[in-house]
Amino acid sequence: MTSRHVLVLAAALAATFVVPAAAQDTIKIGSSLGLTGYGSITDGHWREGLELAIEAVNAKGGVLGKTLQLVHEDNKSIPQQAVVVYRKMMSEDKVVAFDSGCISAGNFAAASFVTRAKLPMMLCSILPQQAEEQKWAFSFLPPPKFEVDSRYEYLKSKTDIRKVGILGDPSPYGSLMRKFAIDDAKEFGIEVVANESYQQEDADFSVQMGRINAAGAGAVIMIGQGNAVITVAKNIKSLGLDKMLLLGSVNERDLLVEAGQVLGERYLFPSPIIQVAIDDLGLITDPKARAAAEAFITPLKAKHGGKVDTSMSSRAWDSLLMLTQAMQAAKTTEGTAVRDAVEKIGPYVGAGASYDFSPTQHVGITRNPYVIAYVKDGKLAIKHDGR
């Protein structure tokens, strides 16, 4: 065999055992998102925030000398499908961590086997219910209590309304918020006189609104996101309930504006300050928070324009930046080390909120971030800042 033949054979054998450079130089982050179904708007914005953050991190050299890659799968807003896509990303894509959307039931369904694999989960949703699963999950969602209490505090301090009706969806997040709405009412001198439910696919809420009105409620505390709030606003108007207030949940900017155009200032809602301040960062008075918001809003507007919702996407941006900061601090992508590093980050001023994770605190937002907002001239405006 000639020397040339030996070299060719050696090269061929070496190629058989070489891992592609792209695989060696890439860190994959998985994300289970409800890109179709009832969570599509919310989780679509979560994806936008993740993509912007990954672009920003890669523009600065990536993490640990490697490029970040987002692997996202559509769970169709269905828990069973979430299990499928989580398993796929773990077995086929070999992701090292998750940064998933707001479908609580889907994240709950997958949490047990993600925990066994020791993969950190950064979540838009509330934490899983089991204590062992909570050790691996970090929630970037403001506690449901904050969203409820902001509305009650407004009613107590700015109105004479002391009787309310609840209208809520049956999701895990909705059920938890409903419990707070019932339990916390007395603290604010509020009486819950009606407790109604709805499904995401319902096309009319006149019956529920009629019962809430007949019970003597002066305001509706609506629990649930999505297009349903527009239908409720139209029902209130068509039923001639001219004095009733609708205090909705946190929602997408376009939906807030559309509902506000129906009811005007009688439609109020809790809003993170960045959602209101997208057109005027001067509304954010803390210099660190304003700088963090500007670092996010500048690339957001450059890529998507000025009408993109910032409530979800800003927290997605924060979650990804904190995950990569933890990897840098741990000097590895190994799950346990990264989880521990997230717990050690300490107070963090982000674009969407301020966070403070610890070994015993895996809900990062510990101070109420909401103002009460309304729609004025097609834009969001602050009605009351009770923070």
DSSP-assigned letters across all residues of 110-179: HHHHHHHTT--EEESSPPPSSHHHHTTEEE-SPPHHHHHHHHHHHHHHH----EEEEEE--SHHHHHHHH
Q: What's the confidence (pLDDT) of residue 10? A: 42
What is the average pLDDT across 256-264? 96
Provide the greatest CA pair distance for the chain. Answer: 97
Q: Cα-atom radius of gyration of the chain, to the nearest Å?
A: 23
DSSP string, 309-374: --HHHHHHHHHHHHHHHHHHHHTS--HHHHHHHHHTS-SEE-SS-EE--BTTB-B---S--EEEEE
Centroid of chain to Cα 187: 27
Which pLDDT band, with edges at 50, 70 and 90, does 4 fall under? very low
Q: What's the confidence (pLDDT) of residue 307? A: 66
pLDDT tens-digit profile of 94-139? 999 999 999 999 999 999 999 999 999 999 999 999 999 999 999 9
In percent, the amount of the chain with pLDDT more than 70 equals 93
Q: Supply the DSSP symbol for 282.
A: G
3-state helix, strand, coil in the chain (%, to 5): 50, 20, 30
Q: Is the pLDDT of residue 154 over 70?
A: yes
Mean of all residue pLDDT scores within the chain: 92
Which pLDDT band, with edges at 50, 70 and 90, does 227 fall under? confident
What is the average pLDDT across 2-13? 43
What is the average pLDDT across 345-357? 97
Which of the residue ranges 77-91, 136-150, 306-320, 364-378 would you say has the lowest mean pLDDT?
Answer: 306-320
Q: Is the pLDDT of residue 362 over 70?
A: yes
SS3 of residue 200 by DSSP: coil
Please give the CATH architecture assigned to the domain spanning 144-249.
3-Layer(aba) Sandwich (3.40)
Q: Highest mean pLDDT: which of 24-38, 269-283, 323-337?
A: 323-337
Higher pLDDT, 328 or 20: 328
Of 188, 124, 206, 194, which Cα lies nearest the Cα of 152? 188
Domain parsing of the chain, residue ranges: 11-142+312-355, 144-249
In CATH, the number for domain 11-142+312-355 is 3.40.50.2300
Q: Which amino acid is at 349?
A: V
What is the average pLDDT across 28-36? 97
Let me know if the fold of 11-142+312-355 is the same as that of 144-249.
Answer: yes
The model's pTM is: 0.84
Q: Is 276:373 a contact under the CB 8 Å cutoff?
A: yes
SS3 of residue 85 by DSSP: helix
Question: For residues 169 and 84, what is the distance between their CA atoms, to the nearest angstrom?
Answer: 25
Q: Is the pLDDT of residue 9 over 80?
A: no
Q: Is the pLDDT of residue 7 over 60?
A: no
What is the average pLDDT across 200-209? 91
Q: What's the confidence (pLDDT) of residue 41? A: 85
Which pLDDT band, with edges at 50, 70 and 90, does 373 fall under? very high
Q: What's the confidence (pLDDT) of residue 23? A: 54
pLDDT tens-digit profile of 285-334? 999 999 999 999 999 999 988 667 899 999 999 999 999 999 999 999 99
